[in-house]
Chain A
Amino acid sequence: METSGIELGAPASAVDEDAINPRLNPQTNSQTPLGSVVRAAQAGDLEAFEVLMRAFERPMLRLAYRMLGNLGEAQDATQELFLRLHRTLQRLDADRDPSPWLYRMMANLCCDAQKRRGRAFMLPLESIDEPCAHAQDPAEALHDAHRKQALIQALAELPHRERAAVVLRDMEGHSAAEAARLLGSSEGTVRSQACRGRLRLRNLLKGLL
């Protein structure tokens, strides 16, 4: 797996948008509908771009929420991601899967958003009431709510590289090779980052699970 010039830790603003490196992704989509959609979007078809956006919006927003722990900030970061995608559309290789670029840019945008926010963690209010509303046993609901809050908070306190690796491996179920491809890193690096993140998470959640 080749690594790109994009450093995951680098702020998104510092990432050269020329870094859409087709060598990163061995999978091509020249024969897939996605390739034709990308070409139509490059030709200025806004509906085609909307199709492209709908194909990736859900995993991107979910990734941003899990990285940031706040739905509003995740929404802003995802919108910024697609605006940047639109700006760099002409330089995108239509025959390649845009997922690695999207995942890496999303991770960088989340890193920037967290830096702007500082280390203060704002627990989203929606995450507090929701489990209590659906659970039958109040004690169990309270335990679920606390556990969910603790998980979200502990995730947000992880270093962003480890957080990205844990989110992709343990939450979204990507394989180590797939996570490495999406993050533009090596498989061994992603594995060690994920392991360190799991252990750090366990220390943060000690006794809460």
Chain B
Amino acid sequence: MNQRPCHSMDIAAFVADELMPDEARRVQQHLEQCESCRSLASELALQRGALRELEDPPGFEQALQAMREGALRRLDPTPSAAEPDIKPRRLRTFAWSSVHRPLWLAAAAMGLILGWSAWTRRPMRNRAPLATPHLAQNPAQNDVLNRGLDIPQTSASQTLSPQSTTSTVQKSAPTMAVATKAGPSRRPRQPSRAVEDTQQQLEALVASADPPGSDPAPVFIQQTPQVVIYWVKPVRGGVS
């Protein structure tokens, strides 16, 4: 105290009446002489009074009651009063956190789009063959058609249905035309005579399906999303 008469800790202890009598007396004597320490002591006394006057906030009683009722409700062993049995929440993994969840959902959506795209662009040999009553009635044309489009005879004959109507021809003929035009996954080949004949026969079929005097049936081109995936194979050692 004698070495550091202006130590603020001593002033703070003096204001709170925490000093021994002899120490308090020395601080009192110092305060009578030091203006800055007197100012500090008056500020600390004012602060102490303000802290004591700080009353309970509004809503304190309601919070007290709510706290008590909530605690007792959670402690009550009777099933009616107790809270429903809350199972511990399953630990949420980092991969399924709120940050990564949109990424997973976007990846799932992208997978659906790719799958649908692949399904609609699958090779023609796996697709259901053309079923027209005209072809069923003409085995020679049917044979030519199947040879030109590489459609197995068995599947073509299985799908040929006598219940098919003219409207079926109107719907299925354009699809066949598009498939013949696109043929994306088949190996490239020179258009043979049989294919050209087949196309001409198809056009004739479409024209014959239309009633006389009406407009030719509209040709719908099936639009599929063109999704191109570039697969870059990693090269060990880098690219030279």
Contact = CB atoms under 8 A, between A and B. Distances in A.
Interface of A: 46, 49-50, 53-54, 57-58, 61-62, 65-66, 71-72, 74-75, 78-79, 82-83, 86, 124, 126-127, 130, 147-148, 151-152, 166, 169-171, 173, 176, 191-192, 194-196, 198-199, 201-202, 205, 209
B58 interface: yes
B148 to A, nearest CB: 74
B59 A170 contact: no
A126 B55 CA distance: 12
B63 to A, nearest CB: 5
Interface in B53-71: 54, 56-60, 63-64, 66-68, 70-71
Interface in B32-87: 40, 43-44, 46-48, 50-52, 54, 56-60, 63-64, 66-68, 70-72, 74-77
A71 B8 contact: no
Contacts of A78: 67
Give the 9 A-B CB pairs with smallest separation, nearest first.
A195-B12, A75-B63, A198-B12, A170-B51, A130-B58, A82-B71, A75-B67, A126-B58, A195-B9
Nearest to B43: A202
A170 B16 CA distance: 8
Contacts, number: 102
Contacts of A86: 71, 75
> Could you say which interface size class chain B belongs to?
20 to 34
B143 interface: no
Contacts of B66: 75
Contacts of B48: 170, 198
Interface of B: 8-9, 12-13, 15-16, 18, 40, 43-44, 46-48, 50-52, 54, 56-60, 63-64, 66-68, 70-72, 74-77
B57 A79 contact: no
Nearest to A150: B50
B206 to A, nearest CB: 73
Contact of B18 (A54, A66, A147, A191): A191
A71 B56 CA distance: 10
14 contacts: A46-B76, A50-B68, A54-B68, A62-B56, A83-B74, A126-B57, A126-B58, A151-B54, A170-B16, A170-B48, A191-B13, A191-B18, A195-B12, A209-B47
B3 to A, nearest CB: 18
Contacts of B57: 65, 71, 124, 126-127, 130
Contacts of A75: 63, 66-67
A204 to B, nearest CB: 10
Nearest to A152: B54
A151 B47 CA distance: 9
B145 to A, nearest CB: 74
B43 A79 contact: no
Contacts of A79: 67, 70-71, 74
A195 B16 contact: yes
A191 B13 CA distance: 8
Contacts of A192: 9
